[in-house]
Amino acid sequence: MKHPPYLLPGDKVAIVSPAGKIEQKIVERGAELLRQQGFRVEIGEHAFDEAGVYAGSDPVRSADMQRALDDQSVKAIFFSRGGYGSIRTHLHLNWSAFFKKPKWLIGFSDVTVFHAYLTNHKIASLHGVMTAWFEKEGELTGSFLQMMELLKGNTPDYPVIPHELNRNGVASGILTGGNLSIIQSLRGTPLDISPKGKILFIEDIDEHHYHLDRMMLNLKAGHVLERLSGLIVGYFTEIKDGETPYGKTPYEIVSEAVAPYHYPVVYGFQAGHELPNYPLIMGARITMDVTKEGVIIRKL
């Protein structure tokens, strides 16, 4: 797995909008906070465009990202937000210049599309907060500060509270995954998970319980779950019942799906659509040690 170079003071970074539209003031504030961290910031020409739910048309969104991918003076690309549209942007991109000199791509949620693509090409990327999550109520979030430290080469420790559904064990593997809905949508494409030797991270938001079950069973029927080395389960936020209660919590749905297997499983890892949202290097080799006393997750 190839890791892009860590960031140094004075490095130039870009902010682009590959998916949903976003308010200009949020992105500009995010850019200012990155400048305060010592970086030079370039905002994509079309980062504030609007075309329905998207931040501009597919061609202009992809053009902004293409420029950032190709510009060798840009050392990292921060995505302004997720929403929906990254797969549409991805289909317009040429990655040849990026592959010659990779840089950090940073985001989560819909940005899982890019994490999946890069992991399959053995290049690390960062599952981390986007511009609206850099601060809360006028204070920098711990998640933003942790992300900045990680991008400078300082790997944080992740305190993980033991959960009653955890499955004990020790495993190592390549970290992959992200948003479960996006993972499921990429099944059968070149961005699909190659599960052997992987530790899968999943999280989701605003789904029905039965939909979570359907996605987990897709992974089960497709022989993904059985070939994993481990599973890390993050937030499942604002999960909805129908008129008739489903009868299981999101974590119980996941637990049932992976019950036949024997690798370690961690529930309640603090990453996803809530704060704190711990930064994770997708494509990194990690170890997870799960016992009844606690959980240790480390990057190797």
pLDDT at 300 (0 to 100): 64
Tell me the average pLDDT of the chain: 96
Please write the tens of the pLDDT for every residue from 88-133: 999 999 999 999 999 999 999 999 999 999 999 999 999 999 999 9
Q: What is the pLDDT of residue 1?
A: 86
CATH of the structural domain 169-299, one choice from 3.50.30.60, 3.40.50.880, 3.40.50.261, 3.30.470.10: 3.50.30.60
What does the alpha-carbon distance between residue 119 and residue 282 come to, in Å, rounded to a whole number?
7
CB 14 within 8 A of CB 77: yes
In this prediction, residue 150 has a pLDDT band, given cuts at 50, 70 and 90, of: very high
**What CATH number labels 12-151?**
3.40.50.10740
pLDDT recorded at residue 242? 86
- pLDDT score at 97: 97
Say whether 169-299 and 12-151 share the same fold. no
With a threshold of 0.85, does the pTM exceed it? yes
Using CA atoms, how far residue 270 sits from 42, 233, 235, 266, in Å, is: 30, 9, 6, 11
Q: How confident is the model at residue 158 (pLDDT cuts 50, 70, 90)?
A: confident
CB atoms within 10 A of CB 243: 4
The ranges assigned to domains in the chain are: 12-151, 169-299
CB 287 within 8 A of CB 300: yes
